[in-house]
Amino acid sequence: MLKRAKFTKIKSFAKVNLSLNVIGRLKNNYHQIESLVTFVNLHDEILVRYSNKMRHTITFSGKFSEGIKKNNNTVKNLLELLDSKNYLNNKKLEIKLIKNIPHSAGLGGGSMNAASLMKFLLKKKLKNNFNNIANKIGSDVQLGGQRKNLILLKNSKVLKTNKKILLYVVICKPNFGCSTKFIYSRLKKFTKSEYNLRKQNYFNLKKLVNYKNDLETIAFKYYPKLRKLKIFFDTLPDLEFSRMTGSGSAIVGYFKSHKDAKKANKLIKKRYKSYWSVISKTI
């Protein structure tokens, strides 16, 4: 599958939460959530090949490579787990990760890296065991098992749908990140479960506009600059809706055309010169 002399390139796409409901707290003190998830064509690149070295080597480069812990990241943790199960048959890998997805943004960059690499390396072996291994790496990793629109149910099961939303997006991350642990620790109120009908088209645009992310209230309270960014998004011309993804700090605006998204991104860059923003589209 892998050639020793040549790297194989894998695209690892960013995930976006179209909605996020926090519906309770579990006995293990983790929060019970449900979410509508889509993917956009913004992606990290993973270059991988077999190595003759005694251990795996992982290097990071790209705009968002700074700040990644070399001894504690999702890819390293995945390889250690696979080695413990001997899924790699004692072979070692050389991996180069080009980071185009910002971290601490709610875009699942690290989790999708682990999921994309696991899918590529162990297609057949993990057919019936993907989620068990994914959940040992991180709660979002199982979402990278399929690049389709997903419904994350309250029991942590994931439903796949072929429904497309076909929207252009502008993603903007301020020059700070949000702490997922901190955001969840401040959440006191829970919402009712919404996603329990398999045949319901939850990805209809008219419905998407009215969904919410329960974590926005907390994030905006403790990160007032993020609240101001969301308010600015909602003034953009031809915007369908905007929403924070995950626990932040990225805000995502949704548009029907590339022209509208381009015009919006220009306004964002003019207003927030120190923030990162990019045009992408759902896949």
CA distance readout (Å), 11 to 46, 100, 263: 6, 11, 27
Q: pLDDT truncated to tens, each residue of the chain (283 aa)?
A: 555 569 999 999 999 999 999 999 887 778 999 999 999 999 999 999 999 999 999 999 999 999 898 889 999 999 999 999 899 999 999 999 999 999 999 999 999 999 999 999 887 676 667 888 898 998 899 999 888 999 999 888 899 998 889 999 999 999 999 999 999 999 989 999 999 766 688 999 999 999 999 999 999 999 999 999 999 999 999 999 999 999 999 999 999 999 999 999 999 999 999 999 999 999 9
Check 44, 119, 140, 214 and give the catalytic one.
140
Side-chain half-sphere exposure of 50, counting CA atoms within 13 A: 11
Contact 74, 137 (CB under 8 A): yes
Whether residue 249 is preceded by a cis peptide bond, meaning omega within 30 degrees of 0, is yes
CA distance readout (Å), 217 to 21, 57, 69, 183, 213: 12, 41, 29, 10, 8
Contact 37, 115 (CB under 8 A): no
CA distance 62 to 99: 5
pLDDT at 64: 97
pLDDT at 199: 66
Check 15, 119, 173, 230 and give the catalytic one.
15
**212: region left, alpha or beta (phi > 0 left; psi from -120 to 50 alpha):** beta
Domains observed in the chain? 8-161 (3.30.230.10), 168-281 (3.30.70.890)
Cβ-count burial 206-237 (b if 16+ within 10 Å, e if not): eebeebebbbbebbbeebeebbebbebbeebe
According to DSSP, residue 265 is labeled: H
According to DSSP, residue 237 is labeled: T
| Helices (H) then strands (E): counts for the chain | 8, 10
pLDDT at 124: 64
CA distance 157 to 151: 8
pLDDT at 281: 98
Phi/psi at 68 (nearest 5 deg)? -80, 130
pLDDT at 130: 83
pLDDT at 216: 98
Please say if 140 is a catalytic residue: yes
